[in-house]
Structure 1
Amino acid sequence: MLKLLLLSLPSALAPATSLGPAGPPQDALAEVSGGNLAFACNSYRQWAKQEGNFAFSPYSISAALAMALHGADGETARQMESVLHLKQATAASGFRQLREALTPKPRGEGRWRAIPYELHFANALWARSGFPYLDSFQQSLKQDFGAHFTDLDFSQTEEARSQINAWVAENTKGKISKLLGPGSLDQETSLVLTNAIYLKANWALRFNNHNTKDRTFHLADGKTVMVPTMKQTSPFAVSTQDGFRLCELNYESNQLSMVILLPDQNLSLAKLEAQLTPENLKTWLKELRFNKVALEVPKFRIQSSLNLGSRLKKAGMPLAFDRRMADFGKLSTAEPQALTEVIHQSFLQVDEDGTEAAAATAILGAPGAAVGSKGPILFRADRPFMFLIRHKASNTVLFLGRVSDPRNQ
């Protein structure tokens, strides 16, 4: 039985895809990045029904589930492909290419040579001693996901839990320290897959701390609160749509960016969230144009934790959780395996310097354009809004979420 814990994981509804032959290598990256976008948007629409602030990492979730998908077979694999918008035959090589594309490249020469942002990925498998991995599964996860394999004694559940949590904390710079809670492991646990992502990036155009003041923020219930709000007037890419606007804030090197989606005063955030589809988002992003913008954005910090096993079942992959019917025959020669749970955790903080964010995934097993208008455009995020952090070249969504009340963590 596989027991799946994911930090930063959405459930998704998606049309079925088939287990087809591997496409040309150059297509694998496009397939994975396109699947990430679809998974992110479809999952968000399902999760938007909950109230309050939340954030998740579509990349972290997809990477962890893709490792499990690599060991799946038959109808179990087809259902997972459908939910993840991935093809089993190309997912592993696609994630390897995507990981290479996302890795920050040094800039400058000599003493000025530096990494423009911190973006770290880590994958690990923790198995009971002597767990019978199939060689093909183990080699692919090492090569394509950069995964490390460690033996654990799951009969010592608390010691095993502490070791896995320590690995997660180290790879998220301490932002996520208790991924696995008491009782999450038991003596039947045979395998745990973990994924962690950590991002720290400075704005290309930083906010001056002296301009940050308490300003009004209008909550969805009509109440007004005062929250620390950053302010600057600079060139930013913006787009005006029917009932809402977008503003893109680049991070240093312009490889990553945060996009804020702000509904107009006469449009509820829920109605904007209902429009979030992969097709719509790609269109909105293509229409971003640089203008001089008077920008006001509240500082915020979000921590999310969710159990998602039931959501994934409803999303279209119930077989993976069925102890009698699940088929993970490409993972191990051991007795039949099945997923038992998915746990999601994420952390994100936005301030004058930039963004710090982290997410983790664990899988457990047991049996541009020219500047436009002359005057500045006012973009004041003083009401609930959506945001995403993306890698611009591949259009990969690293984090996606909503700010309903900047005071709440």
Structure 2
Amino acid sequence: MFKILLWSLLVTFSGNQASRHLAQRNAEFAVDLYKAISSSHKNNIIFSPLGTTLVLAMVHLGAKGRAQEQIRQTLKFQENTTGEEFTALKSFFSAISEKKQEFTFNLANALYLQEGFTVKEQYLHGNKKFFQSAIKLVDFQDAKACAETISAWVESKTDGKIKGMFSGEEFGPLTRLVLVNAIYFKGDWKQKFRKEDTKLMSFTKKDGATVKIPTMKAILRAKYGYFSESSMNYQVLELPYKGDEFSLIIILPEEKVSMDEMEKQVTAHQILKWFSEMQEEEVEISLPRFKVEQKLDFKEALYSLNITEIFSGGCDLSGITDSSEVYVSQVMQQVSFEISEDGSEAAASTGVHIPVIMSLARNQFIANHPFLFIMKNNPTDSFLFIGRVTNPDTQNMTGRDFDSL
């Protein structure tokens, strides 16, 4: 189950001729941001490069000078082609947000402005044009009421999956402009796992301790690859969602390779190369049910990627307002990501039967130690979510009760 809300500053990429270039840049930014976050977090990680880029692009639209240049360089935007980048983004949003029977993908943007705070018409028009942003006026002096108003909007845009995202403590008397992006995804696996085949198996956590966790099992035909890079070996598995628009990629280093080593070595170029070289094969899969929840403030990570100017007083956001007192105070994101037998949210399971003897499968993919995962949009190869599992959380998950396994 995905329950995602991204707050304060947020992009991805589109599909036609510019798609490949945009996907490459998207992947580079996603991996850069992942490395910046992972260096200060020891356990599970989950975030949306899509969401983070979106907010940054919304600010880029109104930034000038050094503030704009830092965002442009970090997002890998080409110089003097911002209009083309944003047009490509708009095409992507339109394509990805179409209602499909196979999945639900909701993406909505809003700007919450202080009543009486003058924002330039051109900036409001640009946000509406490129990001389909709603423009809403609130009184941040009444922090509690603002939190309730914005939280209610988020709840409505995420099918009620994210409740009470904001508290009054997150807004202060100097708050003037809040950019909000809400994303909700719900989809079933193209080939579901049978719940009755889920068994308790040992998982070796990042610290070397072993824990018993519910592990899904199946033999499926899936895209799979075994790769050697920089003296490290990896298995890569792609599990498509129904409709083939989205896939979950699991990158599993060999057991002797630590996540820290892998994270230093892996590159966006390698990951995209793996995507292109994987072949459909029969694979014996053991994959833990897992749930990763996280609320992140990206300020420190963005600082390390040289986005610093927007956080300082006196930064040039004159494309947004003539006020010289406007700057970004926080870049918050909250994600809850759950993988179960059905897919991304509980539903009736039909699935593939698992033979008692599984040794006949040609390839074994046994995720019994820390791994990296990426959810991507297949037409564009854009990274919607990226994270790692170092300790699967089995509490409050869908699926069979832990005690029944």
Task: Please tell me the TM-score bracket, short chain as reference.
Answer: 0.7 to 0.9
Q: Map 1:380-391 to 2 at 5 A.
A: 380-391=366-377
Deviation by residue 1:95-124 (Cα, 9 ceiling, x = unmatched): 211112323564xxxxxxxx1111110000
TM-score (norm 2): 0.85
1:157 paired with 2:124, answer no
| Structure-2 change in CA distance of 1:191 and 1:7 (3 Å) | closer
User: Deviation of residue 288 (structure 1)?
Assistant: 0.7
Aligned to 1:221: 207
Contact conserved, 2:213 with 2:394, CA < 8 A, in 1? no
What SS class does the counterpart of residue 137 from structure 1 fall into? helix
Mapped partners of 1:274, 1:37: distance in 2? 16
Mapped partners of 1:6, 1:350: distance in 2? 20
| Structure-2 change in CA distance of 1:289 and 1:199 (3 Å) | same
Mapped partners of 1:317, 1:336: distance in 2? 18
Amino acid at match of 1:152: V
Aligned to 1:271: 261
Contact conserved, 2:99 with 2:105, CA < 8 A, in 1? no
1:181 paired with 2:176, answer no
Mapped partners of 1:120, 1:42: distance in 2? 26
Aligned to 1:210: 196
User: Deviation of residue 47 (structure 1)?
Assistant: 1.9
- Which of 297, 317, 323 is matched with 2:313 structurally? 323
User: Deviation of residue 68 (structure 1)?
Assistant: 0.8
| Structure-2 change in CA distance of 1:32 and 1:386 (3 Å) | same
| Structure-2 change in CA distance of 1:404 and 1:343 (3 Å) | same
Mapped partners of 2:134, 2:321: distance in 1? 17
Aligned to 1:35: 25
Aligned to 1:308: 298
| Structure-2 change in CA distance of 1:247 and 1:29 (3 Å) | closer
Which shows bigger deviation, 250-259 or 46-55? 46-55
User: Deviation of residue 34 (structure 1)?
Assistant: 3.1
| Structure-2 change in CA distance of 1:385 and 1:125 (3 Å) | same
Flag structure 2 segments of 5+ consecutive residues without an equivalent. Answer: 347-359, 396-405
What SS class does the counterpart of residue 355 from structure 1 fall into? coil
Aligned to 2:383: 397
Mapped partners of 1:240, 1:207: distance in 2? 23
Amino acid at match of 2:386: L
User: Deviation of residue 172 (structure 1)?
Assistant: 2.4
Flag structure 1 segments of 5+ consecutive residues without an equivalent. Answer: 11-24, 107-114, 358-373
Q: Aligned pairs, how many?
A: 366
- Which of 42, 53, 72 is matched with 1:51 structurally? 42
Mapped partners of 2:52, 2:317: distance in 1? 19
- Which of 143, 146, 152 is matched with 2:129 structurally? 143
Which shows bigger deviation, 315-324 or 232-241? 315-324
1:341 paired with 2:327, answer no
TM-score (norm 1): 0.84
| Structure-2 change in CA distance of 1:306 and 1:408 (3 Å) | farther
Deviation by residue 1:15-47 (Cα, 9 ceiling, x = unmatched): xxxxxxxxxx96655554333211111111222
Contact conserved, 1:307 with 1:341, CA < 8 A, in 2? yes
Mapped partners of 1:9, 1:92: distance in 2? 16
User: Deviation of residue 286 (structure 1)?
Assistant: 1.0
Over the residues paired in the alignment, what is the CA RMSD in angstroms? Answer: 2.3
Provide the identity percentage.
Answer: 28
Mapped partners of 1:57, 1:135: distance in 2? 29
- Which of 223, 235, 246 is matched with 1:245 structurally? 235
User: Deviation of residue 408 (structure 1)?
Assistant: 6.1
- Which of 65, 69, 72 is matched with 2:56 structurally? 65
Amino acid at match of 1:253: G
Contact conserved, 2:248 with 2:373, CA < 8 A, in 1? yes
Which shows bigger deviation, 255-264 or 335-344? 335-344
Contact conserved, 1:55 with 1:399, CA < 8 A, in 2? yes
